[in-house]
Structure 1
Amino acid sequence: MASSNPETESNNGSSIAKEPEKPQIEAFRMPTMEEMRAQEVWNNCAVRSVASGVMGGGLGLMMGMFLGALDNPIMQEEMTGRQQFMYTMRQMGQRSWSSAKAFAVMGLIFSAAECVVEKARAKHDTTNTVVAGCVTGGTISAKGGPKAACAGCAGFAAFSVLIEKFLDRHT
């Protein structure tokens, strides 16, 4: 079967494989002023923390809605369909608000701690994640006393490292 491509055919009609072309090296492009301003805005710890808090709140809202919908009333047999529906809506609302607050605070504290530690150390590595996890866990569980704060610190730091290794952000 002869090739119809004239570049691969030689004078005697046999086909010779042409060497694959080397990929072109892409020219270096300097960022525009708008790109640099956007990067500077995102590097601000306050902006990063608020954005993480808002995203955490959104995640908590969705999780609360899902978990609230799974709650069944205890007296399900004695309730009408409308009562069951109203109970489920109330549970979804309560769980959504509670989860949204918890996840928003968690995201805000973690992101702020990680950003401040990263700026202070001038490094982007797993140590920042460990410290931020410890600060977040300790802060969230501080109401339970010093033992609870220490356990929260250790637990959240370990969880943060596992997530970091799973996502493979730092090498």
Structure 2
Amino acid sequence: MAASSSENDSKNEGPSSREAEQPQVAAIRMPTAEEIRAQEVWNNCAVRSVVSGVMGGGLGFFMGLFLGALDNPIMQDEMTARQQLIYNAKQMGRRSWSSAKAFAIMGLVFSAVECVVEKARAKHDTTNTVIAGCVTGGTISARGGPRAACAGCAGFAAFSVAIEKFFDRHT
């Protein structure tokens, strides 16, 4: 009797197992009006650039705090603990401000150029990253003269492509 009940169970599982093998079709969800508006705002190059500049500034600020804390005064042996603390606080503040400005400019320029190039070319690919990296690197190192600007362009473009390939955004 046990054998006949297992045969009935296997016969009953036949159609249900076929249904499980067929792929389930998911319904397409249309975006809401709020989602469409948010996407339109984010597609604005000015918004994207300002957000990247602010985020870059924040990253630079925290990197400056960290790197400023690592600086040791030259006359450390002759300074009291209070003098060392004051020196380190000032150094952290200087480094934070300097790094925040540099990273904010870097983020703003890179994001703005990439967005404008992407809209002009109507493509989302690595070429946009190369152009944005070159302009950003050249802009940052322009004070050093034409050779420095060219080296900054090539270096930042190569770095941008390496990061792009690492994160693999354009596949």
TM-score normalised over the length of structure 2:
0.89
How far has the Cα of 1:10 moved from its partner? Answer: 7.8
SS of the equivalent of 1:13 reads helix
Partner of 2:118: 118
Partner of 2:70: 70
Between the aligned partners of 2:117 and 2:51, the Cα distance in structure 1 is: 18
Q: Which runs of 5+ in 1 are unaligned?
A: 1-8
Partner of 1:3: none
**1:88-125 CA deviation, whole Å, 9 max, x = no partner?**
11111000000000000000000000000000000000
Is residue 2:165 matched to residue 1:165? Answer: yes
Aligned pair count reads 163
The percentage of counterpart residues that share the same residue type is 76
Partner of 1:53: 53
How far has the Cα of 1:82 moved from its partner? Answer: 0.7
**1:48-103 CA deviation, whole Å, 9 max, x = no partner?**
00000000000000000000011111111111111111111111100000000000
Q: Which runs of 5+ in 2 are unaligned?
A: none
Give the root-mean-square deviation of aligned CA atoms. 1.9
TM-score normalised over the length of structure 1:
0.89
**Matching residue's letter, 2:6:** G
Residue 13 of structure 1 is aligned with which of 2, 6, 14?
A: 6
Task: Map 1:18-167 onto structure 2 (within 5 A).
Answer: 19=17, 21-22=20-21, 24-167=24-167
**Matching residue's letter, 1:13:** S
Between the aligned partners of 1:38 and 1:52, the Cα distance in structure 2 is: 16
**1:120-159 CA deviation, whole Å, 9 max, x = no partner?**
0000000000000000001111111111111111010000
Between the aligned partners of 2:164 and 2:133, the Cα distance in structure 1 is: 11
Between the aligned partners of 2:147 and 2:51, the Cα distance in structure 1 is: 31
**Matching residue's letter, 1:52:** S
User: 1:64/1:10 Cα in 2 relative to 1: closer, same or farther (>3 Å)?
Assistant: farther
